[in-house]
Amino acid sequence: MEKGDNLEKRVKVGIPGFDQLIEGGFEEGSINILAGESGTGKTIFSSQFLYEGTKNGEPGMYISFEERKKSIFKHMKRFNIDLENLEKEKKIFFYEYSPREVEKFIKEGGSIERTIREFKIKRLVIDSITSYVSLYPTEAERRRALADLIDLLRRWNITTILVSEAETTNAEIRARFGIEYLADSLISIYSVRKGDVREMAIEIIKMRGTAHSRKIIPMKITNEGIVLYPDQPFFGKGF
């Protein structure tokens, strides 16, 4: 795969083995959906993305509608990612809402935007977009809420990961509620049973403006976080 001409506009994700699959990183300002079933490492992937930003002088923001901040901080310390300390240093800003606080999030959008502008936030994670839209009772309301959120993110112009619970369509992992049509990319994490163990892999379903890998790439969650193995076949030796 040849590298593109706009590497200066790429945002390095920082997952070992991943950036080489997408011409060096996400397009700056892009909105990227990360879809997978529960327990497949979506929060780890997202936290590594924010952590990479702090190493490059790019402050980040994590907005959670599911797991509590205390729990995320505790779990990520296992991978030598100290989000608690990074928050104290104002390198990462963390907002937490219960799924029933969607209206509160919308009302506080102005204060969030002020933080984004004041501290020059470059990276954003919303975890999960599924919880954000699930309280809207009809499909039409969900799509309108998603479209409004995407419009807001476009205005903020931050490189964003939207975490989504997954649904299986034609044997492929997809984001729930069909939200991928609004985003710039869709990345799926697979967990496949092989004998008495589960093997994991990642696939880039789509990524606008990028000559991305079309392969299903083996993935492991190690003591240092998520690592990909682009040169090994899925279900190959050791997978």
* Confidence band for 7, pLDDT divided at 50, 70 and 90: very low
Q: What mean pLDDT is predicted for residues 4-25?
A: 85
Q: Strand, coil or helix: what is 226? A: strand
Dig out the tokens for 69 from the structure.
């901040």
In the three-class reduction of DSSP (H, G, I as helix; E, B as strand; rest coil), residue 171 is classed as: coil
Per-residue pLDDT at 116 exceeds 80: yes
- Whether residue 52 is predicted with pLDDT greater than 70 in this model: the reply is yes
Q: How far apart are CA 58 and CA 27, in angstroms?
A: 15
Structure confidence at residue 3 (pLDDT)? 45
Q: What does the H/E/C string look like for 177-215?
A: HHHHHHCCEEEEEEEEEECCEEEEEEEEEEECCCCCCCC
CA distance 152 to 180: 16
In terms of CATH architecture, what is 35-227?
Answer: 3-Layer(aba) Sandwich (3.40)
Tell me how far apart the alpha carbons of residues 60 and 189 are, in angstroms, rounded to a whole number: 23
Q: Yes or no: say if 17 and 227 are a contact pair by the CB < 8 Å rule.
A: yes
| Helix, strand and coil percent figures for the chain, each rounded to 5 | 35, 30, 35
Q: What does the alpha-carbon distance between residue 28 and residue 139 come to, in Å, rounded to a whole number?
A: 30
b or e along 81-110 (b: 16 or more beta carbons within 10 Å of the residue's beta carbon)? bebbebeeeebbbbbbbeeeebeebeeeee
Is the pLDDT assigned to residue 166 strictly greater than 50?
yes
Residues forming a β-bridge with 123: 60, 159
* Tens digit of each residue's pLDDT (9 = 90 or more) over 187-215: 999 988 777 888 999 999 999 999 999 99
**Structural domain boundaries in the chain:** 35-227
Give residue 69's identity as a one-letter amino acid code.
Answer: K
Q: What is the pLDDT of residues 64-94, one digit of tens each?
A: 988 889 999 999 999 999 999 999 999 999 9
Phi, psi torsion values for 51, nearest 5 degrees? -60, -40
